[in-house]
Structures are given as C-alpha cells and as structure tokens.
Amino acid sequence: MLKLKLTNVRCFADPAPVRIAPLTILVGENSTGKSSFLALQRATLDLIGGQGDVNFNKDPFFLGAYDQIAHYRGGRGGRADFFEIGIRNTVKDPGKTKRKPNNLEANYTARFVKRGSQPELSHINFRCGRHAIEIAFNHDQVPSIKINTPSWSGTIPEQVWRYIPVSPRFLLGEATGYFYLLREIARRERIKNFSLSKEDALVLSGYWNSALEPFFISSFSIAPVRTKPERTYDPIDDTPRSAGSHVPMLLAKTRFTDRERWEAVKNTIDRFGQKSGLFRAYPVNADIYYM
C-alpha cells in the first residue's frame, strides 16, 4: 500500500502516513492542511525524481520559509528542529517463491533542517528488510553514504567519488547501474573496505525502484478547487468563472436546450455516483440531485 509520510510539517505534527489511492480527493475547511498536503506531495515527487534543490514555493503552492513550514508546538516546544517527507510502500521479497510470497515494507524518508531562513535537506534514509541506505548531507561538501546489506555494511569510501559524480538522490531508474558502478570501481581500485556483493546491489536497487517508481510515475497534484456555485433561480448568466458559479446555470440551460448532451452528462454522473456509493448513501431523485 502506497502512502505519503509527513512529520513536523505545519499541521502534520506527528508521523502521519496518508494512503495515496488511484484517485485521492481532499475535502475540508480552510486551513486544515489540504494545500500543504498537495505541496508536500509535489515536493516529494521532485525529490525522488532527482531534481535540484526542493522548492516548496512553486506555483500554485506556496508554503513559505522554514518557520512557515516546520510545525510550531507552542510554548517551550517551540518550532520543530526538523521536518520530514517521504514514501511508505509494500514491495515483494525477491528471495521468496510464488508459492510463499513475502511482502516487505519499504520506507523512504527525507529530513529537512533550517539553514538561514530556508529548509535544507540533511538526510535521506531508505530501508527495506535487511537492506538500507543513509545519506547524510553537509551543505556543499561530499555527502556521506552508508549502506547496510547482508553482505556488507559501512560507509562508501571517499576514493569512489574520484571517478563518478556524486548522486546523492540516486536518480529513479538509475539505482541499479549506480550500485554496479560502485562495485566495479571498488574492484578495479582494489578498495578492500568496500565489498558490496552483486546480489545485494541488485536487491537493494530493486527495492529502491519498486518502492518509489509507483509514486513517481502515477502521482501528481493539481491546484485546490474552490467552488462557489450559485442557485439556478438566481439571475446570473453562464459566463465561465474560476469559482464555478456559472455551472448550475450552465447545466440548467443545457437540460432545456440540448437534451442529448444533458443525457450524456447525466449518465456520466450516474455512473460516478453508483461506483463511488454516493447515490446509495444519499438516495435522491436524479433531477433534483443534479439541479
């Protein structure tokens, strides 16, 4: 099950994994976290997609600086020292057979701290079963990358970074090749304190891609939809407006002037209502419901 994890972000103070369904609709009052959730979902996409510094203020979502993003606990608790965004997903254990499948929970977490007035990425942690990666960032210096697998555990030696560019975010889809490249460099340079096995490199990158790829290829967020529909008997026109006040008049006009189109719209809404259970929960006359 795919979930978005939020901790210490605005109103999401405690760890709050939220399930991401094929269609996820957020409904709530003002200032309840809808826009924050969408902005953080987009920031997570940017992060796992390997884009540059995460921008928490791209149109149409603007979260502000660190003090506007990190949760404020009040009193002595003050502002949170860090906030986290990430992914939780279920992946298959490649070591199990089809007859005895075993699902593992994979967790990807990115931690941000305050630098100046802005949030800065400080750690990325990924763990699935007995395999884990921890990336610690130190501003403009080379990051420290620790790997934990059944065959080897430790920090990737600095000698490796002489030959390949540092890829701290492990770009999605390139993890497999990246780990193999690390192994080949270590073998060629005879780096004795780095002995990640071929099998574990494959398993680790497989977990990484299996956990993050579904979120990356099928998840996107759109701007909040704010509606202000008018009643059909109010003296208004059907000129399009961003808040949707013209929609009821447009539907009423369509019903009486273009019956074929009205029936098509009505049947579409009918199918949606039956599948979602709305009409079962609220049994109303179809014409009254639409008008």
**Contacts (Cβ under 8 Å, ≥6 apart) of 247:** 229
pLDDT at 276: 59
Q: How far apart are CA 59 and CA 53, in angstroms?
A: 16
Averaged over 1-30, what is the pLDDT? 84
Question: What per-residue string of b and e applies to 89-113 under the rule 16 or more CB within 10 Å gives b?
Answer: bebeeeeeeeeeeeebebbbbbbbb
pLDDT, position 239 = 76
How much is the pLDDT for 89? 94
Whether pLDDT at 282 is above 50: no
Band of residue 168 on the pLDDT scale cut at 50, 70, 90: very low
Is it the case that residue 160 has pLDDT exceeding 60? yes
Q: Report whether 173 contacts 206 (CB < 8 A).
A: no
Phi, psi of 89 (to 5 degrees): -145, 165
pLDDT at 290: 36
Instruction: Say which residue, 79 or 281, is predicted with more confidence.
Output: 79
How much is the pLDDT for 197?
78
Nearest to 167 by CA among 175, 155, 158: 175
Q: Distance between CA atoms of 69 and 118, rounded to whole angstroms?
A: 9
Give the span between the Cα atoms of 120 and 236, in whole angstroms. Answer: 50
Q: Which band of pLDDT confidence, cut at 50, 70 and 90, is reported for residue 106?
A: very high
- Predicted local distance difference test score (pLDDT) of residue 85: 94
Q: What is the pLDDT of residues 85-103, one digit of tens each?
A: 999 999 987 665 555 568 8
Q: How far apart are CA 228 and CA 243, in angstroms?
A: 5
Mean pLDDT of the chain: 77
Task: Using the predicted structure, report yes or no on whether residue 144 has a pLDDT greater than 70.
Answer: yes
